[in-house]
Amino acid sequence: MSVLPPVRKDRIITQLPQCFRKDAALHTKEDFSNKVKTACQEKRTGTVGFKISKVIVVGDLAVGKTCLINRFCKDVFDKNYKATIGVDFEMERFEVLGVPFSLQLWDTAGQERFKCIASTYYRGAQVVIIVFDVNDIASLSHVRQWLEDALRENDPTAVQLFLVGTKKDMSVCPRAAQSGRASDQTQTSAPPIHVSDLHVTPAAGENVKEFFFRVASLAFETNVLAELEKSGPRQIGDVVRINSNSNNLYTPSKKKQSNCCQ
């Protein structure tokens, strides 16, 4: 039996990290929903604590996908380019609002010749992160294609999308690098796309941790909400009363319903 590694102290999330720019992101949630916070406090998160959410990281070759993941998972940066062949993955364990939660981060190949191997691993993703290089307009214009490829293998209404611009340190036009507007063209009608959620610099580690914390938090929230939906419409504040004589379980809301029928 394999045992999961313990959650590291620097992977504990107690608040929802903010998006990069509100005017550049479709998903601008500022806090965990009360429903989720209460469920976590009352330990009603079902199987979420045992779940591993799959995250795929896609984008053109050499935009910095591997560096982004390695900066977060291993806190290293390699300035030499080594193409990813097919795929690679890392596991990251978090604790969100006191509940363990894991992400499996899939680093995929951007090179055309390895793309067909990589795309076989797209299926089952809860999160898709599309990466572009802020200094390379072509890598941004290819985002739509990456999006289509990733969504073809997944349920577009269920997937959470993030768009990340990398190599901010190399930007010759700081204003362009800071503006999320350039990436508006990646908007689609189906799922909520996080329009240029972040500009990161894996080389310096800038914004990298904040970005993955936001990814983990939003994926966690989605899982908890799904779990609550599965477990039924129990109202917060309902008191479960036990009639010790008859073994009957009933709640005040059920009682009210039966009164109405009388």
Ligand X SMILES: Nc1nc2c(ncn2[C@@H]2O[C@H](COP(=O)(O)OP(=O)(O)OP(=O)(O)O)[C@@H](O)[C@H]2O)c(=O)[nH]1
Q: Which stretch binds ligand X (CB under 6 A): 10-18, 32-40, 56-64, 137-145?
A: 56-64
- Strands 193-199 and 52-59, by their bridges, are unpaired
Stretch that binds ligand X, among 39-47, 79-87, 171-179, 213-221 (CB under 6 A): 79-87
CB 11 within 8 A of CB 97: no
For the bound state, the minimum distance from the C-beta of residue 207 to ligand X, rounded and expressed in Å, comes to: 10
Question: What CA–CA distance (Å, rounded) separates 191 from 193?
Answer: 6
Separation of first and last alpha carbons in the chain: 55
Is residue 38 a contact point for ligand X (CB under 6 A)? no
- Using CB under 6 A, which residues numbered 102 to 141 contact ligand X? 109-111
Least spacing, CB of residue 137 vs ligand X, in Å = 16
Spatial distance between the Cα atoms of 28 and 17, rounded to a whole number of angstroms: 11
Q: Does 180 bind ligand X (CB under 6 A)?
A: no
63 sits near ligand X (criterion: CB under 6 A): yes
**Alpha-carbon torsion, ordered 111, 197, 55, 121, to 10 deg:** -30
- Alpha-carbon torsion angle 29, 35, 39, 42, nearest 10: 120
**Between residues 17 and 86, which has the closer beta carbon with respect to ligand X?**
86
Query: Which of 7, 26, 52, 61 forms a contact with ligand X (CB under 6 A)?
Result: 61
Name the residue whose CB lies closest to ligand X.
110
List residues binding ligand X (CB under 6 A).
Answer: 61-67, 78-81, 83-84, 109-111, 166-167, 169-170, 201-203
